[in-house]
Chains A and B, each alone.
Chain A
């Protein structure tokens, strides 16, 4: 059972470039989340989804977009990367009766 898989693990972007962070889960979880983790700042929610076709903004959505075309996939799109988006990004999923399951994270640096 793979759980939550994120790709890539590391990426360096130049200012103004775009990229998509991939997240896939094989547990048939309805709820999926994207967090960013800045040093000493805990986790901040970027976007979340309660099921295929349904997404909503979290605490820090500016500069990001998401889609949820299937239950399994929840990609995060960064448009026009900025240095402030340098962070570690985590995807997570859960059901109503479980804890959150996290991916290994994507470490992104914008230079």
Chain B
């Protein structure tokens, strides 16, 4: 079945540091790929997405590129802020059937001033 593997956290950074959170997936066909963010006490919300190979999703300074050859969708940001502290989930959605999203375990990011 489909699966998503992302790096374990917590990831602890100082403000303005570079962020990478690794994500790899296993799926048949050509799934859509997503990064969601969850702030404390809230539900998940979409951060960015990519629907086909080589697409780059971007939002709020975050970027991720759909790499089919390496089955990866790593999340990057050049300069993190304290307000980026949250849990980040990588996810895929298959392109047919019941469209059941599969989520990674989540990576907690803590940014210190």
Q: Which residues of B are at the interface with A, using a C-beta cutoff of 8 A?
A: 34, 36, 42-46, 49, 89, 91, 93, 98-101, 103-106
Contacts across chains A and B counted by CB atoms under 8 Å: 51
Query: Can you give 10 contacting A-B residue pairs, CB < 8 Å?
Result: A33-B101, A35-B103, A42-B105, A58-B100, A94-B99, A99-B34, A99-B49, A100-B34, A100-B44, A100-B93
List chain B residues, Cβ under 8 A from A58. 100
In the bound assembly, the distance between CA atoms of A35 and B89 in angstroms comes to 14
Q: How large is the interface on A (under 10, 10 to 19, 20 to 34, 35 or more residues)?
A: 20 to 34
In the bound assembly, the distance between CA atoms of A42 and B90 in angstroms comes to 10
In the bound assembly, the distance between CA atoms of A41 and B104 in angstroms comes to 9
Interface of A is mostly: strand
**Contact assessment for B42 and A105 in the assembled complex, using a CB-CB cutoff below 8 Å:** yes
List chain A residues, Cβ under 8 A from B104. 42
| A28 CB to nearest B CB, Å | 15
List chain A residues, Cβ under 8 A from B34. 99-100
List chain A residues, Cβ under 8 A from B46. 99-100
What residue of chain B has the Cβ atom nearest to residue A104's Cβ?
B43
Q: Which residues of A are at the interface with B, using a C-beta cutoff of 8 A?
A: 4, 31, 33, 35, 40-43, 45, 48, 50, 56, 58, 90, 92, 94, 96, 99-100, 102-105
**Contact assessment for A48 and B43 in the assembled complex, using a CB-CB cutoff below 8 Å:** no
List chain B residues, Cβ under 8 A from A90. 43-44
**Contact assessment for A96 and B99 in the assembled complex, using a CB-CB cutoff below 8 Å:** yes
List chain A residues, Cβ under 8 A from B45. 102
**Contact assessment for A48 and B44 in the assembled complex, using a CB-CB cutoff below 8 Å:** no
